Structure 1
Amino acid sequence: MALCKDCELINIQELFEDHNDRSPGIGRQGHRFAAVQRTSIRHKNSLDELEESSKCCSLCKLFWNGLIYTDILRDARISDTVEIIADRRIGYAKKEQICLGVRCMNKTAWHGLFADKGSLASKKVVGRLVASPDDFSCVSSWLQTCLTSHKQCGQVSTSSLPTRVLDVSAGDNHNLVRLVSGAGIYGVYATLSHCWGNLPLQTCSRASISELKRTVPWESLCKTFQDAVSVARSLTIKYLWIDSLCIIQDDNDDCQREIANMASIYSNGCVNIAAAASINGSGGCFPNYRRYMTPWERLPAVDLRWMKDGQSHGVVKVGSLPMGFQCGVEWGPLAKRGWVVQERILSQRMVYYGQDQLYWDCAEGRTSECAIDVDFYGAKDPGSNGGFRMLKASIEDGDEEVWERVVELYTRCDLTKPEDKLPALSGIAKTYAAATGMSYIAGLWKERLPCQLLWTVARSPESTPLSFYRAPSFSWASIDGVVSFYDKRETFAIETQWAIRVLSVTVDVEGSSPYGKVTSGTLTLRGKIKPAVGFFVHESGIQLYGSDDSKRTVIGDGKLDEPERQMVDDTVYCLLAMVSIHEIPPESQIHFQGDKTYSLVHVLLLRHITGHPQNTYYRVGTGRVSRKGWFADVKESEMTLF
C-alpha cells in the first residue's frame, strides 16, 4: 500500500528541528526528563478525511487504527482535525527517545519511530522494532553495558555458589545439563523466576537427586527451563539456579535451609531471568508476541525517508508501540506470584520476557527492546517504574517505612501454599534486618511497634479463614487479603499520638531461621481498653455501640479482619491505639468557629479468648471511635494478645 500525498510530505528531520512547543515531562520515577521537545503539525482536516485515506495509504491506516484501539474515536467528532505530534525526550542511558503521536480532541495515540540496527538512521533514532524473543543479542548487549558502564551496578564478582546449581555449560553436547554441588565453588550464575502452574514439573527429590547429578535429561525439562538454559548459555553463564531443581522438594530440612538462603541466592546472582508471560512450565520464556497483539499492533511498520538538506539520511520506520511494562509484565501471571516479590527486589539485574517484548531492569534504570519508555506514552500508572529498584535501595539503606510498602505490595500477590506466607518474604526480611539491626517478629519489626499494629485488610467475599496456625493475630500474616498500614501522609494528619505501650513480644519459629514459619507468638501491651457491642453491617463492616447503652447509640465503626465472623450484638473490646490530629481544609474553615483541627480515635478490635485469663485477647479488626471522651474514664491496664 502506497502513501498519500500528505504522508509523502512528512519530513522527519524538519519535524524534529522545529521545536515550537517545548514542554517538560515528568518521568515515572519522579525525575524530570531533560531536553523534552514537542512539535505538532496538521495532518488531515478531519477524521472523515483520515478514514478515507486509510483505505489506500499504509501510514494513514496505521494512524486510523491507533485512534480506534486507544478509544479516542469514541469521544471524537468526524469533523475534528488530525495533528501529528513529534516528541523527543531523554530516556534510559541518557539516549533520546523519539515518538510520533496522532492527536485528535487533545487525545493522542502514540507510535514509535524505529530504525534498523546498523542503518544510517540508527545513528539518530534509538528505537528498534521488536525482534523474535529468542534473539539473544539484545540481552547480551544490555548485560555487557551494565557490567562495563554502570557505576551503580558494577562488575559481577565471582561469589560462593548456592548449595546446588545446574551446570549448563554443555560443550559439544547441547542437551547436557547436570545438577552439581556449589560447596566451595566460586563462580557466576543466573537465577530463574517462573510460574509453577498446575502442570507437573521436573523436581529434585531424595529419590532423584543422584540421577540429576549424573544428568538432567533434556526432554524431562519443561519448555521454560529449556529456554532459561538457552538464555544462560547465550550470556556465557555456566551455572543456573532453578528452585524446583536445586532444592530437595520432599526434604523439609533442606527446604527450610534453602529458603533461609534466598537473600544471598538472588542478590549474588548475575542476572535473574523472568518468564513473565508464562502461566506454567509449558509456556517457555519466549512467548508468541502476536498472541497478545491487537489488529493495530499487528500492522507492519511504515517506512519514511529521512532527508536533510536534500540528502538522504536513511529510512525510519513508524510502527505501533508495544503494550508496555505495566501491561506486558506487571499484569502478567508471574507478577502475581508471592514468591516473585522478593526475587524481583533482591536480584541485581532482571531480564523480563514479557508478553510484548524484552525488558531490562538494573540499578541504573529500566529499558526495553524497543528502547522507548512505552508506559510514559501510554499514560499507565506513573508510580510503577523502578518501584522494585527503589524498594531494594530503601531496604539496603534501612528506610524505616519501606517494610510497610513491601508488605502492601506482597499481599496483593498469590501463594499456592498459604503456609508459605512468611517464608516467601524471608529473603527480604533477612536483608532488611541486616541493614537496620531491628528484630523481626512474625512479619513485623519490634522497633516499629506499636505503629505497625494498625493495619487493615481488604478481603473479597469468597475468602475463608485459615484452618491452621500461621501467625499471631496481631500480625498481618495471620490472615489473607490485601493489607494496608496507617499512613500519616495519606490521611493528611498533622500529628499522631500513640496510646499503647509495648511491654514485651515473643515469637516461636519452626527451625533455626527467625524469618520462617511461626508456631506461636504473644504481645503484651499497656493501654486503655473498653468493651463495646459490635453489630455486623455489610461485608467486613460493623457498627459499634456502648456496651452499657440501652439506647444503642453508635459510638464508632470498625472493619473486621475475618468478615465471616458476623457479629450480632457480640461483645468486642476496643483498645485505644492512636489519636490522629487533622487540620480542617482552608476552604471549609469558614464554617467552623475556634479550633481549626479535629481528632480521630483509632482502636484495635479485640475478642476475649475463652478459657484464658480476663486480660488475654486476640485481634479481630480495627475501628474508629467517634464519641468524644469515650475513653476518658478508663484506666490503663496490662493485656496480652495471642
Structure 2
Amino acid sequence: MFNTVSDFKDLSKSNPVVCFKGECSWASPFYIRVSVKRQDSASSNVADTIDALGQHPASPSQPPTTDAPATSPDESLDKLRIWLNNCTNDHKYCLQSINPVFFPTRVIDTQNIENGIISLREKTHICTEKNFPPYWTLSHRWGDPAKVLQLCKGNTKTGTVSNEEHFRNGIGLDEISPTFRDAVQLVHKMGYRYIWIDSLCIFQDSPSDWEVEAALMNDVYGNSFCNISAIRSSYDASLGLFGPRIVDPRTFQPFSVDAEFPVDGNRRREKCRISYNSLFTNDVNNSPLSSRGWVVQERFLARRIIHFTRTQLYWECLEFTRCEEDPENERGLMETNDQTKEYREMREYKATLRKIIREVDFKEFGASREGGTPFRIPWPTPRECWRLMVQTYSGCDLTQRGDILIAILGVAKRFEEFYPNDKYMVGLWKEALHTDLTWESNAFEGAPVKRDTSLAPSWSWASLIGGRITVQAARQVYGGEAASSIEFVEARADPGHNDKILEIDIKATLYFFQRRESTEEYDFFAVESMSRHAFGGNVDIKFDTGEIIMQHKQNGYKGICISAHSGYQGQGRFHAVFLIIEHVSGSMYRRIGKLSRSGTGWSTGNDKVLITLV
C-alpha cells in the first residue's frame, strides 16, 4: 500500500517530485520519490488498464525477485554497442579533450584471451604509427586484498615475491577474480584489446611506483575510451559483472493518475504520468562501490561509464544517461527535473566535466564549436560542483586515510583547466578562499570526528577523519558571491612536496567572543581585553570535532574568530561567517570551527592583521 507523504502544492512546477511511503507485509516501510508530469493523452505511452492504486495488472504486488533473467555478455552487447556507437559518432564533447599521445605505463592485453590468458604490456612495447590505441578502465571494490591478484615487484620488507615475469608471459583467466575475468572478456568482445586495472598494472609493493601512478589518474581515467563500473560485485566480491538480477518490476512501470493543478487561481483536474525517478540514485549512487573514495574521482574523470548493477546496466557519458530497461529513454525512466536532488546526483559530474571541456575548447580556439558564442555556465557552476563533490567525497571510505588528498587530485587537475589563474591548496581554492575556508563538519550532530594534521593543515577539511563535510556557497539575497573579508598574502608548501601547502598567510579582522550568562547570545569585542564591544546577538557555532566542543564548554564559551565573508540579506540585515581559531604562537593560529551570525549592527571597521593559519 502506498500513501502520499508529500502534498501536491508544487504540482504547478515543471516536473515536480512527490514522495510516497510504501507499506507491505514482506518488507519494512520504504519511501519512493517520483516525478510528476502532465500527460499528453495524444502521445501517451502508458497503459490504460490501471487499478485504483495506479498499478498495472501485469506487475502484481510482490517482493523483488532474484529469479529474473540473468545479465549475460551476449544479451547486453547489442545495447552497449548502440550506446557506444551513438556516443562515438554523435557526441562531440565525449570526443573532445582527448590526449592522443597519452597511454598508461602498463595495461592488460586481451589479444590471447580465447586461449585463456591475458598479459601485462608496457607502454613502450605497444607499437603505433601515430597515436596510441584506445584502452578501457575498471572501477571496482577490492574487498579482501588477499583474494585479489596483485602485480608485485618483490619486496623483502613486505615479504612479496616478484610475479612481473609471470604477468608478462600470461595470466590464466582462472587466476583472476570474476569481476576481472568478466571485464577483460567484455573489452575483447566489444572489439578492443587493452584495459587498465589498478591491481594488475601498478606494482602494489612499490611505494615509489604507486606514487608516480597515483599522480597520473587524471590522465588514466580522463583519456580512457570507456570505464567499467563494477557495482554488482561491490556487494559480493565473488560475483562478476553478469549474473542473476534483483528486479522489482513495479519500479519500471510508469502509471497515470488524476491530479489537480492550480491554474489562474482555480484548480484544474488533469491526467498525470508518474514515474519512479530514483532508479539511478538507488542502483548507482547508493551502491557500496560509490562509497569508495577513489571512485568519486574515477567517475568524474571518465567520459563514458557502463555501470553493471544488480538490477540492470546503466550508461553515463557527457551527453546523456540511459538504463537497460529503457535504452532509448522512450518511457522517460531517466528523465528528471534539472533542479532536483536526483538530477544533481545523476548528471552533476558529467555536466561539470562537459562545462570544463567546452570552456577550455573556447579559450583554445577563440570560440565554441556551437556558433562562436562564448560558453555560459548554467547551474551548477564548477565552483559549486567542487563543493558538492567535497561533501560527497568526505563521506566516502578510503582504505588508506593518507590517500585523502591524492585520491581527489585528478579532479582538482581538471578544475585547474577551468580556473588556470587560480591556485589549488590542499582541497581549497585561493580565489574562493573566503568561502572554502568556512567548511563545516557534522561533529555538532554527534558524528565521531577527529583531527589529524599529518594529513593536512587544520584549515583544510582533509585534516578531519570521520563525519561529513559541507561547504556552503556564500550568497547575497540579490545574487552574486558575498564579499570577502580576508586578503590572501602567501602560501608555503612542504619542502619535500611542493603541491602540499602547509601554511597560509592572510590578513583578517580579529574578534574575541564570549557567551552571555544564562543565554544563547554572544558578544563580540575588538580587543582581547573585551573592553571594546563590536556587536552581539544569536550565533550558530559548529566546532570541527567533538573534543573541541567539550573544550569550548570548559573554556567558558569564549574564543577568537576572524571574519571570512559577509553578505547583505535585505531589510538592513547582514549574514556574516567567521572562522573560529585558536592561538598557537606568535602570529600562528589553527582552525577549530565555524561561526555564523545574521542580524543588524554588523561592522567591519576594525583594522586587519596578518596571521598565519597552520
TM-score by structure 1 length? 0.69
**Match 1:187 to one of 128, 133, 142:** 133
Which residue does 1:605 correspond to in 2?
A: 580
* 2:366 matches 1:424: no
One-letter amino acid matched to 1:281? A
After TM superposition, give the deviation of residue 490 of structure 1 in Å.
9.1
Q: State how far apart, in whole Å, the 2-side matches of 1:621 and 1:462 are.
A: 15
Q: 1:282 aligns with which of 234, 238, 242?
A: 238
Which residue is 2:193 aligned to?
Answer: 238
Selected match of 2:111 from 152, 166, 169? 169
Distance 1:606 1:543, change over 3 A: farther
Q: Distance in 1 between matches of 2:389 and 2:39?
A: 38
8 A contact 1:65–1:296 mirrored in 2:
no
1:154 is displaced (CA, Å) by: 4.1
Q: Among residues 289, 296, 313, which one is paired with 1:358 in the alignment?
A: 313
Contact persistence 1:86–1:99 (CA under 8 A): no
Which of residues 248, 252, 256 in structure 1 aligns to 2:203? 248
Report how far residue 25 of structure 1 moved: 6.2
Per the alignment, residue 386 of structure 2 pairs with: 403
1:453-498 Cα offsets, whole Å, 9 max, x none, are: 1222224635241445111111121224322223245977677222
Aligned counterpart for 1:198 among listed residues 144, 150, 162: 144
2:542 corresponds to which residue? 559
Q: CA offsets, 1:345-368, max 9 Å, x none?
A: 111111110121011112221111
Judge which range, 417-426 or 148-157, deviates more.
148-157
Structure 1 contact 227–284 (Cα < 8 Å) conserved: yes
Q: Distance in 1 between the 2:143 and 2:517 partners? A: 38
Q: Which moved more, 1:272-281 or 1:624-633?
A: 624-633
CA contact (8 A) 1:338 1:414 kept: yes
Task: State the alpha-carbon separation in 2 of the partners of residues 530 and 157 from structure 1.
Answer: 50
| Counterpart pick for 1:470 among 455, 460, 464 | 455
What is the SS of the residue equivalent to 1:213? helix
Amino acid at match of 2:415: Y
Asked if structure 2 preserves the Cα contact closer than 8 Å seen for 1:70 and 1:109, the reply is no
Query: What does residue 146 of structure 1 align with?
Result: 87
Shift of 1:87: 7.2
State the AA in 1 paired with 2:152.
S
Letter of the structure 2 residue corresponding to residue 285 of structure 1: L
Q: In the alignment, which residue of structure 1 is the partner of 2:351?
A: 390
From 485, 488, 491, the counterpart of 2:471: 485
Instruction: For residue 295 of structure 2, give the secondary structure of its aligned residue in structure 1.
Output: helix
User: Matches of 1:536 and 1:199 in 2, distance apart?
Assistant: 56
Match in the other structure for 1:448: 432
CA RMSD of aligned residues (A): 4.2
Q: How does 1:20-99 map to 2 (within 5 A)?
A: 26=15, 98-99=45-46
Question: In the TM superposition, what is the alpha-carbon distance from 1:608 to its structure 2 partner?
Answer: 0.8
Q: Which residue of 1 aligns with 2:566?
A: 579
CA distance, structure 2, for counterparts of residue 189 and residue 536 of structure 1: 66
Q: Distance in 2 between matches of 1:27 and 1:167?
A: 48
Match of 2:333 in 1: 374
Contact 1:450 1:502 (8 Å CA) reproduced:
no
The 3 A distance-change label for structure 1 pair 377 and 100 is: farther
Matched residue, 1:58: none
SS at match of 2:117: coil
Aligned mates of 1:394, 1:411 — CA distance in 2: 24
- Partner deviation per Cα, 1:29-61 (whole Å, 9 max, x = no partner): xxxxxxxxxxxxxxxxxxxxxxxxxxxxxxxxx
Q: Give aligned-pair identity as a percent.
A: 26
Tell me: CA distance 1:24–1:634, structure 2 relative to 1, closer, same or farther (3 Å): closer
Distance (Å, rounded) in 1 between the aligned partners of 2:567 and 2:56: 45
* 1:350-400: CA deviation from partner (whole Å, max 9, x where unpaired): 111012101111222111111144355899834333222112123433744
Counterparts of 2:476 and 2:602 in 1: how far apart (Å)? Answer: 26
Write the distance in 2 (CA, Å) between the matches of 1:104 and 1:154: 47
Which residue identity is paired with 1:563? G
Aligned pairs, number: 506
Q: Point out where structure 2 has 5 or more consecutive residues left out of the alignment.
A: 1-11, 33-37, 60-67, 127-131, 154-161, 254-274, 361-381
Q: Equivalents in 1 of 2:186, 2:69: separation in Å?
A: 17
Q: Which moved more, 1:254-263 or 1:474-483?
A: 474-483
Q: Secondary structure at the match of 1:450?
A: helix
Residues 496-555 of structure 1: per-residue CA shift (max 9 Å, x gap): 22221111122227557x3xxx3x511111121122247999xxxx9755576799x866
The amino acid of 2:574's aligned partner reads S
Which residue number in structure 2 is paired with residue 521 of structure 1?
Answer: 502
The answer to which of 279-288 and 223-232 deviates more is: 279-288
2:603 equivalent to 1:639: no
Supply the distance in 2 between the matched residues of 1:511 and 1:195 (Cα, whole angstroms). Answer: 29
1:417 shift after superposition: 1.8
Task: For residue 238 of structure 1, report the CA deviation from its aligned partner.
Answer: 0.4
Q: What is the rounded CA distance, in whole Å, between the counterparts of 1:110 and 1:360 in structure 2?
A: 27
Who is 2:593 aligned against?
621
- Give 1:219's aligned residue: 174
Preserved contact between residue 336 and residue 343 of structure 2 (Cα < 8 Å): no
Report how far residue 180 of structure 1 moved: 1.1
For the pair shown, the structure with the greater C-alpha radius of gyration is: 1
CA offsets 1:228-251 (integer angstroms, 9 cap, x no match):
112111111101101111111121
In the alignment, the residues of structure 1 paired with residue 101 and residue 296 of structure 2 have an alpha-carbon distance, to the nearest angstrom, of: 23
Find 1:132's aligned residue among 42, 63, 71: 71
CA shift at 1:145, angstroms?
A: 2.8
Corresponding position of 1:32: none
Q: Distance in 1 between matches of 2:298 and 2:342?
A: 22
User: Does structure 2 conserve the Cα–Cα contact (< 8 Å) formed by 1:260 and 1:426?
Assistant: yes
Q: Sort the Cα spacing of 1:362 and 1:473 in 2 relative to 1 into closer, same or farther, 3 A.
A: same
Q: Deviations over 1:76-99 (max 9, x none)?
A: xxxxxxxxx98789xxxxxx9944
Query: Following the alignment from structure 2 to structure 1, what is the Cα–Cα distance between the partners of residues 277 and 602?
Result: 58
- Is the 8 Å Cα contact of residues 93 and 354 (structure 2) preserved in structure 1? no
Give the 3-state SS of the residue equivalent to 1:472 in structure 2: coil
- For 2:243 and 2:516, the matched residues in 1 are separated by 51
| Residue identity in the other structure for 2:91 | H
User: How far apart are the structure 1 equivalents of 2:341 and 2:452?
Assistant: 39
Tell me the distance in 2 between the aligned counterparts of 1:428 and 1:162: 18
- In structure 1, the residue corresponding to 2:232 is in which secondary structure? coil
Aligned mates of 2:612, 2:505 — CA distance in 1: 4
